[in-house]
Amino acid sequence: MLIALHGSWHQPAHFADLTSRLTHTGIDVLAPDLDKDSLPDRVAAAQEAVDSCPKPPLVLAHSFGGLVAESLTGVRHIIHLASYVLDPGETATDVVVRAIEQTGAPDPLLAAIRPGPDGYTHIDPESAREAFYADCKPEDANSATQLLRPERDDIGQWTPTRVNRDVTPSTYVLCEQDRAVRPEIQELFAARCGEALAWPTSHSPYLSQPDLVLDLIRRIDSARTSQT
């Protein structure tokens, strides 16, 4: 069983193609909706999915979904796809500001975010492909852009109260052409995981290079299964 955790502005439907591919290989997928107003509520939604599994599942966490994944219990392995792996007390804003100060380069994702009403933001559709789907086929990028939805404007200040790294194995996939989570930030996060890989993809390899993601999931699933 695999639990797929989407990132900010995204939703479970973004995993539809990957879910179909995995199902055809015999791996069932649950993709809980993390459209909640706080990190504890998002963790609770994901934990409910984990707890519904007969055995500890794999978790695939994309982008901000990594912040949720790191607070889960009862998981046998986390695969981080360009995701946030924060320490307690550390925020996404903290690491982005440090990267800007160290490199002197602006953050590409910040330029794509537009403020909206009632404490929410959205992604400018014209900037979405550049930020999230730069190496996707145009039709896939367009479909994914249409699925984007508003996100709370305070998520940059969210921080985990605990992390599961000491008890849960993890693999980090650094996306070298990412324009949403800068590669130098991902290097920091990758160093906090048990295994690190680098792929020449943009932010969403589950859309642009699904076979890479599928092969990684199958490798980890097979390795863990053979040990039990």
Mean pLDDT, consecutive 10-residue stretches, the chain (228 aa), reads 98 97 95 97 98 97 98 97 97 92 84 91 95 96 97 96 94 97 95 97 97 96 65
Q: According to the model, what pLDDT value does residue 24 have?
A: 94
Dist CA 47 CA 72 (whole Å): 6
Classify the C-alpha dihedral 86-91-92-96 as positive or negative.
negative
Q: Which of 117, 120, 121 is nearest to 131 (CA)?
A: 121
Q: According to the model, what pLDDT value does residue 196 have?
A: 98
Answer whether 189's CB lies under 8 Å from 66's CB.
Answer: yes
Q: According to the model, what pLDDT value does residue 39 have?
A: 97
Residue type, 189: F
CATH code assigned to 2-227: 3.40.50.1820
Q: According to the model, what pLDDT value does residue 82 have?
A: 98
Q: According to the model, what pLDDT value does residue 224 have?
A: 57
Q: According to the model, what pLDDT value does residue 99 have?
A: 87
Give the residue extent of every domain in the chain.
Answer: 2-227
Given strand 151-152, what is the order of strands in its sheet?
113-115, 120-123, 151-152
